[in-house]
Amino acid sequence: MAEVEEERQVCDAAVTLAFSVLGKRWNGMIVSSLGGGPSTFVVLRRAVAGISDTVLSDRLAELADAGLVARTVDPGPPVTVSYALTPSGTGLLPILDQLGQWASANLAERAH
């Protein structure tokens, strides 16, 4: 009997890299929320239902380190901190929109 060679497709390195950032829970939702424009921490916390302050802070730092989010401090008074998408982060918005459309078409029944 002839041995059948199993073909395996190796995950693209760029996709692996993208999901190392976007695959973390909340990151896609934070980027999507910032698609409407700059936001403060409190507004983001309200926009991303269920996220804790600690996790939001960690995720914003990760997204900033990845070059997707910029943090701006306005010395005030009062001192305010805002977060906005960088051009790289803005480039993700059409992809997240397509992902949302796919989820609505293919996963909608699972959500209920």
pLDDT at 110: 73
The residue extents of the domains of the chain are 21-106
pLDDT at 7: 63
CATH architecture of the region 21-106: Orthogonal Bundle (1.10)
pLDDT in 10s for each residue of the chain, 112 residues: 555 556 667 778 888 999 999 999 999 999 999 999 999 999 999 999 999 999 999 999 999 999 999 999 999 899 999 999 999 999 999 999 999 999 999 997 776 5
Sheet holding 69-74, edge to edge: 39-40, 80-85, 69-74
Whether residue 31 contacts residue 63, with contact meaning beta carbons closer than 8 Å, is answered with yes
